[in-house]
């Protein structure tokens, strides 16, 4: 492969950002610029640098490699080494662009300064270092208004990158007819250890209330079905507190090419093992989900949801964001501190789901507390039996996201910062 004379570097962190920001933009740029590694003789290559983040699972590098979009991927464990000695991690041309797409914005500031590259930040809520950005691509006008006036000329509102998810989802095959419920227990071990047994028991109960229900379990890119099985086995102490287990994993169903997880009660749950699952998710009538990027993704797809945080297992819920998440992982004190942090977070009267945070009001129900699978199954049945309620929540989610086109607009901002002499459009 011919050595590229220009590098575009994406900086990101967790599974949510990779699936909903990084992948769509990477695919768009490959279409527009014919970059390496897909185009072997292109003067432009696309690379991914993953940064340290408490919300990461550790499997992001493996997930991103499957896409084949990046000439080089630097795992978060090598980030500081890359800063200190870039030449040990490949040849870095004199010209390039660093694009922030998740994590702490300061990491992209450091890397762009170290490499001597131009710098573009996608700002969802706030641009924290405008003085060190060549350009800021904002999700909304609110981001621009928060900037000091002297930096607003550097900012362009491109829109919400997730608003394009529904358009991409429509390109694939439809699910079979019927009522579909998505089960989204999370992507991190702390959430999965609670979510998998909890959600499987919900499915068992809900299938007795509404026998015609179909269930879909999208497997996150940072886990797999083998790990899912472990979370409902004796390897997970929490599993014993729930009346469910996995009987078998059935071969692919001819109607949709999806394997099935069958519980000991006989509930059939279709497995989507090729993330992202935007197409099948967009067709679901309701989703049951944990907090996190799932709520933003479902909101972008306008899928009605119930957000669930069972607090009876607080001592394992160390998957909080930012500094709190880091403190909750201190060895030796992990259990005690994790419990105290989680209790404190639960008592804060703030929203946990992205749609509610964004709207500043309740769009989707958040069920936080000592809750049981039976309670959630009963509530889910009530929603499914009330089409007007589902329609109302769906419309609220659609209105919240805004118009599609942000990925296209973001790609244009990237191209504007590249040397015109090195690219052919």
Q: Confidence class of residue 324 from pLDDT cuts 50, 70 and 90?
A: very low
Q: Confidence class of residue 321 from pLDDT cuts 50, 70 and 90?
A: very low
User: pLDDT tens-digit profile of 235-265?
Assistant: 998 999 999 999 999 998 877 889 999 999 9
pTM of the model: 0.77
CB < 8 Å & 24+ apart, contacts of 338-344 = 338/314, 339/314, 339/315, 342/311, 342/314, 342/315, 342/317, 342/318, 343/314
Checking if the pLDDT of 329 tops 80, the result is: no
Q: Confidence class of residue 417 from pLDDT cuts 50, 70 and 90?
A: very high
User: pLDDT tens-digit profile of 119-168?
Assistant: 999 999 899 999 999 999 999 999 999 999 999 999 999 998 988 876 65
Q: At 309, list the tokens.
A: 């945080």
Overall average pLDDT of the 390-416 stretch: 92
SS3 content of the chain, % helix, strand, coil (to 5): 45, 20, 35
According to the model, what pLDDT value does residue 322 have?
45
User: pLDDT tens-digit profile of 81-126?
Assistant: 999 999 998 889 999 999 999 999 999 999 999 999 999 999 998 9
Enumerate the H helices of 139-292 as residue ranges. Answer: 141-146, 165-169, 189-209, 225-230, 278-282
Distance between CA atoms of residues 137 and 412, nearest Å:
10
Sign of the dihedral through C-alpha 76, 78, 84, 89: negative
Q: Is 80 helix (H, G, I), strand (E, B) or coil?
A: helix
| CA angle (71, 158, 137) in 5-degree steps | 65
Distance between CA atoms of residues 346 and 354, nearest Å:
16
According to the model, what pLDDT value does residue 339 have?
53
Distance between CA atoms of residues 21 and 14, nearest Å:
11
More confident position, 417 or 368: 417
Checking if the pLDDT of 376 tops 80, the result is: yes
Distance between CA atoms of residues 324 and 177, nearest Å:
44
More confident position, 158 or 401: 158
User: pLDDT tens-digit profile of 69-78?
Assistant: 999 999 999 9
Answer yes or no: are the C-beta atoms of 410 and 158 closer than 8 Å.
yes
User: pLDDT tens-digit profile of 268-288?
Assistant: 999 999 888 889 999 999 999
- Structural domains in the chain, sorted by start: 6-159+405-422 (3.40.50.2000), 169-401 (3.40.50.2000)
Least confident interval from 13-27, 124-138, 306-320, 383-397:
306-320
According to the model, what pLDDT value does residue 422 have?
65
How does strand 246-250 pair with strand 259-263? Answer: antiparallel
Checking if the pLDDT of 340 tops 90, the result is: no
According to the model, what pLDDT value does residue 211 have?
95
Question: Which backbone phi and psi does 345 adopt, to 5 degrees?
Answer: -65, -40
According to the model, what pLDDT value does residue 323 have?
44
Overall average pLDDT of the 343-371 stretch: 80
DSSP for residue 301:
T
Checking if the pLDDT of 303 tops 90, the result is: yes
Number of H helices, E strands in the chain: 17, 15
Overall average pLDDT of the 166-171 stretch: 56
According to the model, what pLDDT value does residue 221 have?
79
Closest CA to 339 of 326, 328, 324, 327: 328
Q: Enumerate the β-bridge partners of residue 214.
A: 180
């Amino acid at each position: 492969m011919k050595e590229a004379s220009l590098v575009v570097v994406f900086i990101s962190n967790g599974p949510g950002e990779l699936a909903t920001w990084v992948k769509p933009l990477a695919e768009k740029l490959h279409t527009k610029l014919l970059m390496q590694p897909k185009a072997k003789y292109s003067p432009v290559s696309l690379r991914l640098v993953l940064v340290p983040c408490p919300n990461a699972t550790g499997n992001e590098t493996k997930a991103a490699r499957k896409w084949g979009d990046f000439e080089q991927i630097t795992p978060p464990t090598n980030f500081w080494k890359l800063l200190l000695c870039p030449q040990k991690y490949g040849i870095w041309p004199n010209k390039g662009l660093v694009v922030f797409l998740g994590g702490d914005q300061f990491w992209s500031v450091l890397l762009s300064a170290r490499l001597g590259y131009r710098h573009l930040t996608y700002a969802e809520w706030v641009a924290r270092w405008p003085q060190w950005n060549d350009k800021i691509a904002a999700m909304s006008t609110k981001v621009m208004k928060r900037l000091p006036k002297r930096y607003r000329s550097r900012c362009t509102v491109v829109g919400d990158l997730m608003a394009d998810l529904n358009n991409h989802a429509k390109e694939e095959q439809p699910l079979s007819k019927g009522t579909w419920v998505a089960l989204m227990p999370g992507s991190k071990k702390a959430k999965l250890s609670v979510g998998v047994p909890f959600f499987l028991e919900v499915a068992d109960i809900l299938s007795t209330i509404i026998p015609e229900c179909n269930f879909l379990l999208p497997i996150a890119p940072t886990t797999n079905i083998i790990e899912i099985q472990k979370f409902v086995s004796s390897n997970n102490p929490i599993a014993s507190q729930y009346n469910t287990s996995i009987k078998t994993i059935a071969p692919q169903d001819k109607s949709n090419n999806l394997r099935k997880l069958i519980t000991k009660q006989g509930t059939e749950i279709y497995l989507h093992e090729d993330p992202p699952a935007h197409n099948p998710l967009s067709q679901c009538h309701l989703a049951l989900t944990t907090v996190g990027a799932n709520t933003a993704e479902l909101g972008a797809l306008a899928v009605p949801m119930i957000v669930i945080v069972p607090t009876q297992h607080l001592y394992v819920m160390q998957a909080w964001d930012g500094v709190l998440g880091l403190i909750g992982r201190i060895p030796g004190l992990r259990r005690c501190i994790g419990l105290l942090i989680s209790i404190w977070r639960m008592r804060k009267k703030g929203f946990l789901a992205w749609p509610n945070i964004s709207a500043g009001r309740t769009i989707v129900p958040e069920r936080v507390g000592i809750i049981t699978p039976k309670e959630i199954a009963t509530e889910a049945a009530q929603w499914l039996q009330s089409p007007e309620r589902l329609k109302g929540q769906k419309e609220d989610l659609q209105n919240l996201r805004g118009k599609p086109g942000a990925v296209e607009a973001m790609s244009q901002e990237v191209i504007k910062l590249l040397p015109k002499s090195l690219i052919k459009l």
